[in-house]
Amino acid sequence: MRVVVIGAGVGGLALAAGLVERGVQVEVHERDERLSGAGGVGLYPNGVAALNELGVEVDDLGRPIDVLETRDTKGRVTLGIDVALIAEHLGFTARTVPRRALLDRLSQDLPDGVLHFGRECTGVRLHADGTASAVFSDGTRSTGDVVVGADGPDSVVRTHLLGQEPPSMGRWASWQGLTTLDSPRAAGRVSSLTQGRQGTCGIMPAGHGLVQWWFDVRWRRDLPVTDDPAPVLRELFSAWTDPDVRSVLDQAESSDMTFAPHLNTRVQGAWGQDNTTLLGDAAHTFPPATAQGANQALEDAWALVTALSDSGARADAAWALRRYEEVRRRPAAVASFTSSLNGMQRIRLPRVPIRGLRELPENTATRWFGGYLSAVSNVLTGQRP
């Protein structure tokens, strides 16, 4: 079997790594000239479990996360989730890793000739013999028994196969960065989300003094994106006294920041046609509120590798792809719905009494989050294609 993958992001590379380990011939075509990965990635137990099943170890990357905290703008903890307890129960830790370190780890054992850069996909062709081809801007093609679109939110493969419009933009956007932070938080294992009327600030230690951070702010599609966001964010969040938020605002430079609008697509019933399918953001784009974007892409990669490794896949690849889509559709839809709902809850947050949040037992929040991870996971629950 020969598999052609479009996109060398987390999902595309994870798929390639898993297929190569199982002896499947694979090509990955990326439009950029090199692997590009800014910022950090929050890996939760389901994503780490998927990587483990794909034969990729990440225990030496980034920094483990033991606690997720929700805080008010003064830095007071309003809710805590014991991630270490969840990890002990599920058997896999949560951790924050630099995205580029994860991409390097996923690609390090790929044989020569697997990765192809500077290859912009412009469409997909289905053939009568059951094969499919990816067509590139230079007029060349790559034909395989399977073509997988792992080419992100603005997927050319999705548009070409399913005729879907690009994902819609929600009412939020993020300024984010991965930087060295002179703060005790950088050496800890606590991730925090500070919430207030102006928006939210997330902070996650990522190892070696690095911190992954982001500011979520209300946004409209027609608003201009400034080239100098640091002073804008300092002004917008000037009343916040959470010491960790102050450290980020004081130390981060505009050159450290990237802009990311919150996008959303409805998880469709069909992800492809015949011997083609989608993976990751190409199949299901949703806001980053529950940090499941990369984790769902890894879940997809594991499920697709499992489906294509079935003995029946060689005789009927389309059958294997539909099995993959069927088993992944519901967990991805739950992640999409919950992440979108979380974004709406931010709007109502100022009306929620902080005292009421404090009275919610921590074990209840921990139990809910552990249940959520199981609800959005195939690998943790053993639901194989």
pLDDT of residue 272: 95
pLDDT at 360: 47
Q: What pLDDT, on the 0 to 100 scale, is given for residue 363?
A: 80
- Does residue 259 lie in a domain region? no
What pLDDT shows up at residue 350?
34
Determine the Cα–Cα distance for residues 225 and 363; give it in Å rounded to an integer: 41
What share of the chain has pLDDT > 90, as a percent?
A: 81
d(CA 282, CA 157): 8
What is the pLDDT of the chain when averaged over all its residues? 91
Give the pLDDT of residue 36.
84
Is the predicted pLDDT of residue 354 greater than 60, yes or no?
no
Domain count, the chain: 1
Q: At what angle do helices 293-309 and 10-21 cross, to 10 degrees?
A: 30
Helices (H), the chain: 10-21, 45-53, 83-90, 99-107, 156-162, 229-236, 243-251, 293-309, 317-348, 354-358, 362-375
* pLDDT tier for residue 188 given thresholds of 50, 70 and 90: very high
Residue 84 — pLDDT band, cuts 50, 70, 90?
Answer: very high
Is the pTM here over 0.95, yes or no?
no
SS3 content of the chain, % helix, strand, coil (to 5): 40, 25, 35
Encode pLDDT of 236-262 as tens digits. Answer: 999 999 999 999 999 999 999 999 999
For residue 143, what are the CA distances in angstroms to 6, 130, 353? 12, 11, 58
The answer to whether residue 239 sits within a structural domain is no
Domain for residue 199, yes or no? no
The domain of 303 spans 2-167+264-375
Which pLDDT belongs to residue 357?
Answer: 39
Lowest mean pLDDT across 53-67, 97-111, 163-177, 350-364: 350-364
Note the pLDDT of residue 258.
Answer: 95
CATH of the domain at 282: 3.50.50.60
241 part of a folded domain: no
Residue 198 per-residue DSSP state: T
Whether 385 is covered by a domain: the verdict is no
Q: What is the pLDDT of residue 323?
A: 97
201 lies in some domain: no
| Residue 112 counted as domain residue | yes
pLDDT band at 342 (very low <50, low <70, confident <90, very high): low
Residues 6+ apart with CB under 8 A from 338: 289, 290, 372, 376
